Amino acid sequence: MPVQCASEQTDHHQERATRAETRASMDSVAVYHGNIGKTLCERRLCEAGKDGSYLIRDSESVPGVYCLCVLCKGYVYTYRLHQDADGSWAAETAPDQQKRLFRRVKNLISAFEKPDQGIAIPLLYPVSPPGHALPQEQQPKLGAQSHNQNHSTPQGKNQPTPRVKPKKRPSL
């Protein structure tokens, strides 16, 4: 049986400790749903039924990375969130957007509540895990409601976004 040298063991333990710290900080984010799959994520966002509904889940393919998922026109767009060695958070957005670093996930979310941040639609409606209420500071803002109501139907009447199954996102 191979034996790890001391430096490899130390690196491995530090990496595990860092992942545990990241998980602990993520657990304090009201829209964090944990280890749910893509299908359940899509179902929860479609049940919310409003463009701009969003949540965060664990990445299924990359350990220690998270996914920011947002509903827009029946599609669920997914953006990877990761923490660098210095503890700063970043989101993988549109290629033409400059990478931005944030000290906390909550700061990242606040920045992406604004338009033109390199994601499909601003983060407007936080979706908390079942059985968890959102803290007051993460309740949808009044401006968020007017954004969705300004989408008019072909008949010119404002109607709520219908609850639909997510469509497959078009290739870029």
- Cα(58)–Cα(29) distance, integer angstroms: 13
Tokens 């509904």, located at residue: 53
- Cα(72)–Cα(67) distance, integer angstroms: 16
Mean pLDDT of the chain: 76
- Cα(149)–Cα(27) distance, integer angstroms: 32
Closest CA relative to residue 53, chosen from 152, 171, 164? 164
Half-sphere exposure of residue 169, counting CA atoms within 13 Å on the CB side? Answer: 13
**pTM (predicted TM-score):** 0.68
Q: What is the DSSP letter of 125?
A: E
Spatial strand order in the sheet of 125-126: 89-91, 75-83, 66-72, 53-58, 125-126
Residue-level pLDDT at 101: 95
Furthest-apart CA pair in the chain: how many Å? 71
Q: Where are the beta strands (DSSP E) in 16-99?
A: 53-58, 66-72, 75-83, 89-91
| pLDDT tens digit sequence for 42-58 | 999 999 999 999 999 99
pLDDT > 90 in the chain, percent: 53
Tokens of 38: 């893509």
CB of 89 within 8 A of CB of 83?
Answer: yes
| pLDDT tens digit sequence for 79-91 | 999 999 999 999 9
